[in-house]
Structure 1
Amino acid sequence: MSGLQSDRNYPVTKSDEEWRATLSPQEYAVLREAGTERPFVGEYTDTKTVGVYACRACGAELFQSETKFDSHCGWPSFYAPLAGDSVEYLEDRSLPGRPRVEVRCAACGSHLGHVFEGEGYETPTDQRYCINSISLTLKPAG
Structure 2
Amino acid sequence: MESENYTPAVKRSEVEWQEILSPEEYAVLRQAGTERPFTGEYYTTTAPGSYRCRACNAVLFESDTKFPSHCGWPTFYAPLAEDRVRYLRDTTMGMTRTEVRCANCDSHLGHVFEGEGYDTPTDLRYCINSISLVLDEDAAKA
| TM-score (normalizing by structure 2) | 0.93
Amino acid corresponding to residue 73 of structure 2 in structure 1: W
Q: Which residue of 2 aligns with 1:133?
A: 130
Aligned length: 136
The CA distance in 1 between the partners of 2:33 and 2:65, in whole Å, is: 24
The CA distance in 2 between the partners of 1:99 and 1:16, in whole Å, is: 27
Match of 2:33 among 28, 32, 35: 35
- Does 2:118 match 1:121? yes
Amino acid corresponding to residue 102 of structure 1 in structure 2: E
Bigger drift between 119-128 and 20-29 goes to 119-128
Q: 5+ unaligned residues in a row in structure 1: which ranges?
A: 1-5
Q: Which residue of 2 aligns with 1:49?
A: 47
Q: 5+ unaligned residues in a row in structure 2: which ranges?
A: none
Q: Which residue of 2 aligns with 1:110?
A: 107
Deviation at 1:8, TM superposition (A): 2.6
Q: CA RMSD in A?
A: 1.0
Any runs of at least 4 consecutive aligned residues in structure 1 with deviations exceeding 4 A, and if so which? none
Q: Which residue of 2 aligns with 1:64?
A: 62
- Summarize deviations over 1:76-113 as a string: whole Å, max 9, x none: 000000011000000000021x2000000000000000
Higher helix share: 2
The CA distance in 1 between the partners of 2:88 and 2:7, in whole Å, is: 15
Mapping 1:71-82, distance limit 5 Å: 71-82=69-80
The CA distance in 2 between the partners of 1:89 and 1:9, in whole Å, is: 14
The sequence identity of aligned pairs, in percent, is 65
The CA distance in 1 between the partners of 2:18 and 2:6, in whole Å, is: 20
The CA distance in 1 between the partners of 2:118 and 2:83, in whole Å, is: 23
